[in-house]
Amino acid sequence: MPFVRIDALRADAERLDALGRAVHEALVETIGIPPDDRFQVLAGHDGTHSTLVYDDYLGVHRDEGIVYVAITMRSGRTPAQKQALYRRIAELAQSYAGAEPRNMFVTVTENESADWSLGNGLAQYL
């Protein structure tokens, strides 16, 4: 049950959809989430009223094609699975949305089953 937030600079609805598909397919392929388990917030920033800030940290040159992907999911994935996820997101985002892999900034935050309510005020995973 990942919850995904994608923020992209100057992205229209079509680009945001392509980025969302890329991340979702990577999650299905690399960590085995169910195909119908898709919960995403897709946000485009116009660079004036809302923007994204970035630098060239760790020698990775980023530009206005920056895409931030924040994934929250239950714990239990190995470092190798996460590395495969990051690679696949970069590959699919390039293929579907033309995003350069160097501009894909991905974070994973893990929590526990008690930290989720999927509706109706219930903790379905408990």
Tell me if 118 sits within 8 A of 124, measured CB to CB.
Answer: yes
- Relative to beta strand 104-111, strand 3-9 is unpaired
The order of strands in the sheet holding 3-9 is 40-45, 3-9, 67-74, 104-111
Is 2 designated active site?
yes
Tell me if 66 sits within 8 A of 92, measured CB to CB.
Answer: no
Selected catalytic residue, list 2, 34, 35, 101:
2
Catalytic residues: 2
